[in-house]
Amino acid sequence: MTRAAIAEARRIVVKIGSSSLSTREGGLDVERLRRFVAAIADRRDEADVIVVSSGAIATGLAPLGLTRRPTDLPTQQAAAAVGQGLLFAQYTQAFAERSVVVAQVLLTVEDLSRRSHHANAQRALLRLLEFGALPIVNENDTVATAEIQFGDNDRLAALVAHAIQADALVLLSDVDGLYSAPPSAGGRLIPEVRGADDLADVNIGGIGTAGVGRGGMATKVDAARIATGAGIPVVLTSAELARPALFGEPVGTLFHAAPSRRPTRLLWLEHATSIRGRLVVDAGAVTALRTRGTSLLAAGILAVEGDFTSGDPVDVQTTAGVVFARGLVNFDASDIERMRGRSTADIAADMGDEYGRECIHRDDMVLLRGVHV
């Protein structure tokens, strides 16, 4: 894969961070926003584009008389409520000057975590593209709770790219690419990442800015991992280099896509689910699930954690606490508590034939990559 894959992409998700749209004092930098809009509008002549934009909280600071990003959740929500309308108004005006109709789409993690919500979001975004509109997505910070620290929309952008089966994801921030260490410490720019080995010596945790944003380099690398696992190449660079990045020029860092797309269902299950509970399993079940690809039977379950219902996503972990799989359960937590450690035949005789089946079917389970047990 080369940069040509970005230049030839026909459906692109572009994420821009708060720091790339803000002034040094923390308010919205309209000139920066307009330069970004110009680059997007030019690329949109040849491709469908979805923008995932941070900046609502930062935009709401000045109108509320705040001089810095608040740390408490209610004030963050208040700033988001004020700033979201102002931010979208600027986008609407700037794109209208280029005859582009924009649509505001506010999502929470839940919208991409539950299968039914995920499908609804997917249909809405694709329909907007069919109408020729440009969706501008932001996390719904006004109603989000723990999700308000989701990672400056990086992971959200990767999940949106996955949902619409994008051809490319471009992550824009105030850093022009992935460095082996902070540039101030002599770190070198890494032009391409082909796999985990290329990140072995990278000091990811030490790179990135805080400022008015809430993400860092770690969240961007995580987003790239999600997207490339879905077969989507990723370019990471600065907002000032948005235009050359969108047209496939050699700027920033290119994360190569995996050789083949993982099934949508499994990628959704691995990355987008809000976990409702945990099942602790014995060593025999660990081996069966990891090496033979079997379903999870009640006989191998030692403990049940959480108050989940049938169809909810749960983690599967070892007795040492290592989570190695994730799946959709066929029964409520209270039922599995009665079933655990027992044979299928015994359960069916005691509770009825409808309970005489697997707790998680193998088609509804994904083994988490990079986990060693």
What lies within 8 Å, CB to CB, of 245 at 6+ separation is 6, 170, 172, 235, 237, 251, 252
Q: Is residue 157 situated within a structural domain?
A: yes
| Number of compact structural domains in the chain | 2
Q: Is residue 360 situated within a structural domain?
A: yes
pLDDT at 213: 46
Domain check: are 28 and 80 in the same one? yes
pLDDT at 305: 97
Domain end position, chosen among 267, 287, 305: 267
Domain check: are 214 and 328 in the same one? no
Domain check: are 133 and 280 in the same one? no
Domain check: are 173 and 282 in the same one? no
Q: Is residue 173 situated within a structural domain?
A: yes
Domain check: are 235 and 300 in the same one? no
Q: Is residue 316 situated within a structural domain?
A: yes
Indicate which CATH number applies to the domain containing 361: 2.30.130.10
Domain check: are 213 and 303 in the same one? no
107: left (phi over 0), alpha (psi -120 to 50) or beta: beta
Indicate which CATH number applies to the domain containing 236: 3.40.1160.10
φ/ψ of residue 253, rounded to 5 = -120, 130
pLDDT in tens, the chain (373 residues): 578 999 999 999 999 998 899 887 778 899 999 999 999 999 999 999 999 998 898 899 989 999 888 888 889 889 989 999 999 999 999 999 999 999 999 987 667 766 667 788 899 999 999 999 999 999 876 666 554 445 568 988 998 998 899 999 999 998 999 998 888 888 899 999 988 778 877 876 544 444 444 457 888 998 898 899 889 999 999 999 999 999 999 999 999 998 766 666 677 788 766 788 999 999 999 999 999 999 999 999 999 999 999 988 899 999 999 999 999 999 999 999 999 999 999 999 999 999 999 999 998 899 987 777 7
Residue 174: CA count within 13 A, CB half-sphere = 22
Residue 227 and residue 52: Cα distance in Å, rounded? 14
φ/ψ of residue 208, rounded to 5 = 120, 170
Domain check: are 213 and 293 in the same one? no
- 8-state DSSP, 45: T
Domain end position, chosen among 250, 267, 284: 267
Q: Is residue 15 situated within a structural domain?
A: yes
Among the listed residues 151, 173, 175, the one whose alpha carbon sits nearest the alpha carbon of residue 223: 151
Long-range contacts (CB closer than 8 Å, 24 or more residues apart) made by 3-7: 3/248, 3/249, 3/250, 3/254, 4/248, 5/167, 5/168, 5/233, 5/248, 5/257, 6/168, 6/170, 6/233, 6/235, 6/245, 6/246, 6/247, 6/248, 6/254, 7/247, 7/248
Q: Is residue 373 situated within a structural domain?
A: no
- 8-state DSSP, 331: S
Residue ranges making up the domain that contains 260? 4-267
Type of residue found at 101 = V
Run of H or E including 255: strand 253-255
Q: Is residue 372 situated within a structural domain?
A: no
The length of the chain, given as a count of residues: 373
Domain check: are 236 and 286 in the same one? no
Domain check: are 179 and 34 in the same one? yes
Residue 27 and residue 29: Cα distance in Å, rounded? 6
Domain end position, chosen among 267, 292, 324: 267
pLDDT at 1: 56
Domain check: are 311 and 212 in the same one? no
pLDDT at 114: 64
Domain check: are 80 and 225 in the same one? yes
Q: Is residue 120 situated within a structural domain?
A: yes
Domain check: are 95 and 46 in the same one? yes
